[in-house]
Copies of this chain bind each other. A is one copy, B any other.
Amino acid sequence: MESKYRHLYKLLLDKIDKREYEPGDKLPAEGELMEAYGASRDTVRKALELLVQDGYIQKARGKAAEVLDKNKFNFPVSEIASFKEIYRFSSSKPNTIVENLEIVKGDKKLMAALQIGPEDEAFLLERVREIEGEKIIIDKDYFSRKVVENLPLRAAQDSVYEYLEKELGLKIGFAMKEITVHMAADEDYRLLDMGSYDMIVVVKSYTYLEDSTLFQFTESRHRPDKFKFVDFARRKL
């Protein structure tokens, strides 16, 4: 059962996507939405708040909410998204090569990153992403076995997140990402089509469940010319 305000949010989002409300247009007033949708003001406001947070509309006192031109902003905005989601808009189909899938334990850096003990095991999944015939990303995922007991190869080849959420029923809560740039390492030259580039963009992610258990650490290494990160931010008050 989906909440009423989330449903209204999706209705409005759909109208914005379909250009029934165009960028620059004013959204109906809260009172009109209440009547049209048969909801209380609080419910309408919750739906609008979601649109604000996602950068679809802008609100200001005394004025009607205005639809923003989200397309000018190039997806994806900042959110937890898997590789498949990120490249859903690219023209050609990206290809994933599983290089390695094994159980590891005892590595000091890993233990620190995943906050596990020396006897705790973790899955290590290494994949190379190929786009338009070029190998440009290495993804090294570590999953704590305390949470992910088993990780079948078919899930690794497809979407790991779909497996975790749909099959294991894990509820992902939040993630921290860190972007830095380094000199390329041996593995980058070995696994990627580096061309004449000698640096690599490193995105480290720490992913937590809804109960704030850390269960995944990912190191994603991107060839610099193909890397792009887009972020939408609101001014804090």
CB pair B80 A78 closer than 8 Å: no
A74 nearest in chain B by CB position: B178
A sample of 17 cross-chain residue pairs with beta-carbon separation below 8 angstroms, ordered by A number, consists of A55-B174, A58-B208, A60-B210, A60-B211, A79-B234, A80-B233, A80-B235, A172-B235, A173-B235, A175-B232, A175-B233, A176-B233, A177-B230, A178-B228, A180-B227, A180-B228, A181-B224
Give every chain B residue within 8 A of A74 (Cβ-Cβ).
Answer: 178
**Nearest neighbor of A49 in chain B, beta-carbon distance:** B49
Chain A residues with a Cβ under 8 A of chain B: 6, 42, 53, 55, 58, 60, 63, 66, 68, 73-74, 78-80, 172-182, 197-199, 201, 208, 210-212, 224-225, 227-237
**A-B interface, 9 closest residue pairs, ranked by CB to CB distance from nearest:** A181-B224, A179-B229, A172-B235, A177-B231, A58-B212, A174-B234, A80-B235, A80-B233, A73-B176
Q: Which of B68, B228, B235, B237 contacts A212 (CB 8 A)?
A: B68
A233–chain B nearest beta-carbon distance, Å? 5
Q: Is the CB of A181 within 8 A of B211?
A: no
Closest chain B residue to A201, Cβ basis? B181
Chain B residues contacting A198 (CB-CB under 8 Å) are 198
Residues in B whose Cβ lies below 8 Å from that of A211: 58, 60, 63
Which of B6, B231, B236, B237 is A237 in contact with, Cβ under 8 Å?
B6
For residue A6, which residues in chain B have a CB less than 8 angstroms away from its CB? 237
Q: How far is the CB of A206 from chain B (nearest CB, A)?
A: 8
